[in-house]
């Protein structure tokens, strides 16, 4: 059974290079990087952030006095450790700084960019959910090198509300993927049936907010998954796990421990996308139990404790370096040279603003889905 990361003694000041493919819009990994970098600086460390695409989130980080760069050569001194997300930029950082130990975190069990990468400088691998751990194992990482690393919430930013009303009145879909072609129609129909007023926050709906922490406390019930669901729980809202892949349960004191290793994510979304499935969960609304869930989550996954644990991991991989590669002698990493890699990385190099202009074109979403399916199928075949 994979073990969770345990806390330990606080380390000395470290220079930590954090990689992420993009920082140009507000999503799970970009906000993870932002919160991690800000907390590392608050604790007296020196975070540096490297990404291929910069934008709204990179400005948040840079405004705090933290170096953010698209060019690894602008980093003159090697960091103490590399905290890697996304295999492509992690590989570039590892090759730029030979000998620097690293950790690698998988945040998504299907996304091509989150696939396993193999390098002798990587001392530990992590998954934020059991599905992510299973993916790393499936792609060739020995289970002994992998741990579960729970996601975190900045509980100072996402403050808890005083309490919920006896019956819910306002509901929110909190997802970058909510639109007329995904789960929004089912949730909207369920809210109409139960008399709830529904709002939507997220990229696909056209309502992007820079400060969701200022909005979540206005809603009694939130439909979300993964980190977004955790942020909603931290504010005290009752949360139904729901997104484009299905409907999950209302998070409760009873199922909390089961859902936590799943990162409150896709593994829990087992019911079909239908108004009936959503209505069943809305009717489980319990304001007192939502308060218990809020207190439990805030005690479990606060940013401060999570970064303390990460810093302990950094000191451990530094002390344990050098490492032996998880790949056998002469084993090629085929993902790097495949045509699928070229197509996908070429697509990602197109500025997001230009890609957004393509969205209204008829057939765009279907073509994109087809290409991504081809890329991901190739990834599974090769690794």
Please state the pTM of the whole predicted model.
0.80
Lowest pLDDT segment from 127-141, 257-271, 352-366: 352-366
34 phi/psi in degrees, rounded to 5: -60, -50
How many separate domains does the chain show?
Answer: 3
Both 41 and 134 in one domain: the answer is yes
In a domain? residue 312: yes
Structural domain boundaries, residue 356: 334-382
Reduce the DSSP state of residue 285 to 3 states and report it.
coil
Both 202 and 95 in one domain: the answer is no
Is the pLDDT at 38 greater than 90? The verdict is yes
pLDDT score, position 237: 97
In a domain? residue 242: yes
Contacts 24+ apart (CB under 8 A), 256-259: 256/293, 256/296, 256/297
Reduce the DSSP state of residue 33 to 3 states and report it.
helix
Is the pLDDT at 177 greater than 60? The verdict is yes
Both 294 and 316 in one domain: the answer is no
Residue 259 or 373, more confident: 259
- For range 256-281, the mean pLDDT: 94
Both 147 and 190 in one domain: the answer is no
Tell me the per-residue pLDDT of 148-165, one tens digit each, with 9 for 90 and over. Answer: 999 999 999 999 998 999
Residue 217 class from Cβ within 10 Å (0-12 exposed, 13-18 middle, 19+ buried)? middle
CATH number for 221: 3.40.50.2000
Both 234 and 346 in one domain: the answer is no
In a domain? residue 214: yes
Both 209 and 130 in one domain: the answer is no
307: nearest Cα among 7, 4, 2: 7
Both 310 and 261 in one domain: the answer is no
Report which secondary-structure segment, H or E, holds 130.
helix 130-138
245 phi/psi in degrees, rounded to 5: -95, -5
Both 20 and 132 in one domain: the answer is yes
Both 204 and 269 in one domain: the answer is yes
**What tokens were used for 335?**
């993902």
- For range 249-270, the mean pLDDT: 94
In a domain? residue 109: yes
In a domain? residue 295: yes
Both 20 and 119 in one domain: the answer is yes
Both 315 and 351 in one domain: the answer is no
In a domain? residue 350: yes
Both 132 and 184 in one domain: the answer is no
In a domain? residue 1: no
In a domain? residue 349: yes
- For range 113-117, the mean pLDDT: 88
**Mean of pLDDT over the chain:** 86
Tell me the per-residue pLDDT of 43-100, one tens digit each, with 9 for 90 and over. Answer: 999 999 999 888 888 999 999 999 999 999 999 999 999 999 998 899 999 999 999 9
């Amino acid at each position: 059974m994979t073990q969770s990361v345990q806390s330990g003694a606080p380390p000395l000041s470290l220079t930590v290079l954090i990689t992420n493919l993009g920082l140009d819009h507000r999503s799970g990994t970009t906000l993870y990087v932002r919160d991690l970098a800000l907390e590392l600086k608050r604790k007296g460390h020196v975070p540096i952030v490297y990404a291929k695409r910069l934008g709204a989130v990179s400005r948040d980080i840079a405004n705090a006095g933290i170096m953010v760069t698209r060019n690894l050569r602008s980093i003159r001194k090697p960091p103490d450790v590399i905290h890697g997300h996304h295999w492509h930029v992690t590989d570039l950082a590892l090759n730029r700084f030979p000998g620097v130990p690293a950790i690698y975190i998988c945040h998504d069990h299907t996304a091509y960019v989150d696939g396993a990468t193999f390098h002798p400088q990587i001392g530990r691998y992590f998954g934020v959910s059991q599905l992510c751990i299973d993916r790393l194992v499936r792609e060739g990482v020995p289970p002994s090198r992998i741990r579960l690393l729970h996601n975190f919430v900045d509980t100072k930013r996402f403050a808890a509300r005083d309490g919920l009303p006896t019956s819910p009145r306002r509901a929110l879909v909190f997802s970058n993927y909510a639109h007329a072609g995904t789960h929004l129609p089912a949730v909207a129909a369920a809210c109409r049936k139960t008399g709830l007023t529904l709002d939507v926050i997220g990229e696909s709906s056209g309502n992007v907010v820079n400060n969701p922490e200022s909005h979540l406390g206005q809603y009694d019930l939130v439909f979300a998954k993964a980190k977004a669901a955790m942020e909603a729980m931290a504010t005290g809202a009752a949360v139904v796990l729901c997104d484009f892949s299905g409907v999950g349960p209302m998070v409760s004191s009873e199922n909390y421990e089961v859902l936590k290793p799943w990162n409150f994510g896709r593994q829990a979304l087992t019911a079909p996308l239908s108004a009936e499935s959503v209505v069943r969960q809305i009717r489980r609304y319990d304001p007192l139990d939502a308060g218990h869930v809020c207190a439990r989550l805030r005690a479990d996954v606060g940013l401060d404790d999570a970064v303390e644990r990460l810093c302990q991991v950094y000191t451990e991989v530094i002390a344990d370096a050098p490492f032996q590669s998880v790949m056998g002698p002469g084993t090629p990493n085929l993902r790097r040279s495949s045509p699928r890699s070229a197509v996908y990385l070429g697509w990602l190099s197109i500025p997001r603003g230009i890609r957004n202009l393509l969205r209204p074109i008829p057939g765009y979403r279907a073509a994109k889905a087809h290409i991504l399916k081809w890329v991901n199928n190739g990834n599974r075949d090769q690794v």
